[in-house]
Amino acid sequence: MPPYPFEAISFRAKDNYPLQGALYLAQNSKRFLIIGSAFGVPYQYYKHIAHYFRENGISVLAFDYRGISHSKDGNMPAKDILMQHWGELDADAAINWIIEQYQPEELYYMGHSAGGQILGLASSSTQITKIIIAASGVGSWRLWPGIQKYFLAAIWYLAFPLVKLFQKGEYFHSKMLGPIPVPKHAVEQWLSWARSRDYLFTPSHGLDISNYQTIHADILGITISDDWYAPEPARDALIAHYSNCNKNNFLITPESLKLKSIGHFGLFKKKQEIEQGIWQPMLNFLNGKI
């Protein structure tokens, strides 16, 4: 299969950090969707679903957060990059860039994992009219079912700090987080959130979370039953913070799609069963059919 056509683009956050992305333009469309990536996942990973939406009349912007892949180098040293910057500065810049360049009639956002968590940190997030929360949730270990919560707590408090001790440089390498290295201080902030009772929404973290209450959008929350990273209670806890949004939730099982597994990353793989069973409901939601 030839590569999907896209336009490589660059835009700048309000602190002048350069961000890189891919634009999949649908012909004669004023509808745009921005993809907020998972932790340590480059924008190329979303090319299949970006092409799918474009073929169905919705233009898509996928981009890399600062310190990640194509946006690795900029005017902020890796040692200063925090996870909150991905929402406050980078997602905010992506939204504003689309608005300034294309004046969309409808503007959507799909947040995968971390991308679903950080949207409300962007001051421009109130411009979004429809949100897809995909395999995402509040990352507090207390929300995991049964014995899983204690296994996850052991990872947060013991495993990751121990691994980090033996890794030199400003980047953290772990396939559990994603396929590419991420800035260490972003990982440290993420771990501090995950150890807290209400994740990034815990007041002691000092974040401005007011936009989560001022977003007025329709939300579709999609959970995969064999996704260990984002169980239903975690999803529900996250979506609850989008308190003035209209909410619909879906639980998808591999069995319902005649697949052996899907997991945290499988919902964006190009398979006919995924396209029909996950992407089509997403498209129906954006088209107002859900």
Q: Cα(61)–Cα(47) distance, rounded to whole angstroms?
A: 10
Question: What are 257-279's pLDDT values in tens digits?
Answer: 999 999 999 999 999 999 999 99
pLDDT averaged over the chain?
A: 94
Share of residues in the chain with pLDDT > 90 (%): 85
Q: Cα(7)–Cα(22) distance, rounded to whole angstroms?
A: 6
249, two tokens: 């939730």
Q: Cα(83)–Cα(55) distance, rounded to whole angstroms?
A: 32
Question: What are 59-116's pLDDT values in tens digits?
Answer: 999 999 999 999 999 999 999 999 999 999 999 999 999 999 999 999 999 999 999 9
pLDDT for 178: 75
Question: Is the pLDDT higher at 167 or at 2?
Answer: 167
pLDDT for 2: 55
Question: Is the pLDDT higher at 240 or at 152?
Answer: 240
73 to 68, 79, 88, 187: CA distances (angstroms) = 8, 12, 18, 18
280, two tokens: 């089509």
Residues 10-36, mean pLDDT to the nearest whole number: 97
3-state secondary structure 149-218: HHHHHHHHHHHHHHHHHCCCCCEECCCCCCCCCEEHHHHHHHHHHHCCCCHHHCHHHCCCCCHHHHCCCE
Share of residues in the chain with pLDDT > 70 (%): 99
